Chains A and B, each alone.
Chain A
Amino acid sequence: MDKKNNIKVYKNEKTTITVNENWCKSCGICIHFCPKKVLVSNEKGFPEAKNIDDCIHCNLCELRCPDFAINVKKNEIAVEHSVNQKGLED
């Protein structure tokens, strides 16, 4: 089975949000705790970046996802997004 199709990419000028639907278990954490309500649940419970224009790149959805299934990237600057640099400063 070609699982590639289950990787959904949502994109606007500033932001790319990728959801790996092969790994997502529809727990709802990313959707509920997004401070800007960027994400909504689709019929299978997977997050869809319906309001992507409101994304502030806080990365909380990615950091709190238990399944490594959602990834947020700020488009214009090439920064390392897996580590929330701000969060790691003392």
Chain B
Amino acid sequence: MNNSITQYFRKEMFPHIWCPGCGIGIILGAILRAIHSLGWEKDDIAMVSGIGCSSRITGYVDFNTMNTTHGRALPFATGIKMANPSLKVITVMGDGDCAAIGGNHFIHSARRNIDITAIIINNMIYGMTGGQYSPLTPTGKFGSTAPYGNIDQTFDLAALAASAGASYVSRSTIFDVNQATRFIKKALLKKGFSVVEIISDCPISFGRINQLRTPVQMLEWIKNITVPKKVWDKLSEEEKEGKFPTGEFLDIDIPEYTERYQETCNRIQ
């Protein structure tokens, strides 16, 4: 339909498998529009995912792609980047994939500040496996493993990445799709570990159990629970309850891992 981004599709794979109204497709569009605006060649990009509905993204794009194991997109991506630092390496992870089973990989990729763009599709639930709560499920929301409401505190992945040593950190939503695209573009251009968390919907595994059954209800809800950083900073602790700030939290230039590695090689030769 849309010539400029359909050029990146593995067209025979469409229509895609995601449920009606699933935000993963919106995020795929945002990623491809960001890449298109940069004019990058398909072969210069390596896209790596783990396991989950979100991770199926790599099946639909005609880049160098790898659909790896649950939580392990970043270790595989690290290997690719170390072997060929000239590649633009992008990981796409679900919130469970990134923050639960892959949590340590995420922290240490940030600590190393390796030049990888990490896009996190935060639908706040384990979508693929039927709605178990994840570390990003909001407190009080329901999941198939939280039938009385989730009592855990929600991880703030943006704050985590920023404090662990990343170069760029932002959060957007599928509702604010232009902003999400702009943040992805900045993350792609950034030398260093760059994180874009995008709050997404899962009308099936999250919506049904949380009285947000339709994609439209889910998007309206996402719109209501997110607040631009500037507004967020002025809210009282009570007003922040159940809300999430969006915007850019970190954008700094610090030494990158593959460059430091190369410098070390040069020094000892």
Contacts and interface: CB of A to CB of B under 8 A. Distances in A.
B182 A23 contact: no
* Chain B: interface size category: 35 or more
B219 A29 contact: yes
Interface string A17-50: 0101011011111001100000000000000000
B131 interface: no
Contacts of A87: 177-179, 181-182
A25 B1 contact: no
Residue in B23, B29, B36 whose Cβ sees the most chain A Cβ within 10 Å: B29
A83 B1 contact: no
B20 interface: yes
A67 B37 CA distance: 20
Nearest to A67: B25
Given A27-B21, A64-B174, A67-B15, A80 B4 contact: yes
Contacts of A90: 182
A70 to B, nearest CB: 8
Number of chain A interface residues as a range: 20 to 34
Contact of A66 (B1, B4, B6, B18): B18
B269 interface: no
Interface of B: 1-6, 14-16, 18-26, 29-30, 33-34, 36-37, 174-175, 177-179, 181-182, 185, 214-216, 219
Given A27-B20, A67-B25, A87-B179, 16 more contacts: A25-B19, A28-B214, A28-B215, A28-B216, A29-B219, A33-B219, A60-B177, A64-B219, A66-B21, A66-B24, A82-B5, A84-B33, A84-B181, A86-B178, A88-B34, A90-B182
24 contacts: A27-B20, A27-B21, A27-B216, A28-B214, A29-B219, A33-B219, A63-B177, A63-B178, A64-B26, A64-B174, A65-B25, A65-B29, A66-B18, A66-B25, A67-B15, A67-B25, A68-B25, A71-B2, A83-B4, A83-B37, A86-B178, A88-B181, A88-B182, A88-B185
Interface of A: 18, 20, 22-23, 25-29, 32-33, 60, 62-71, 80-84, 86-88, 90
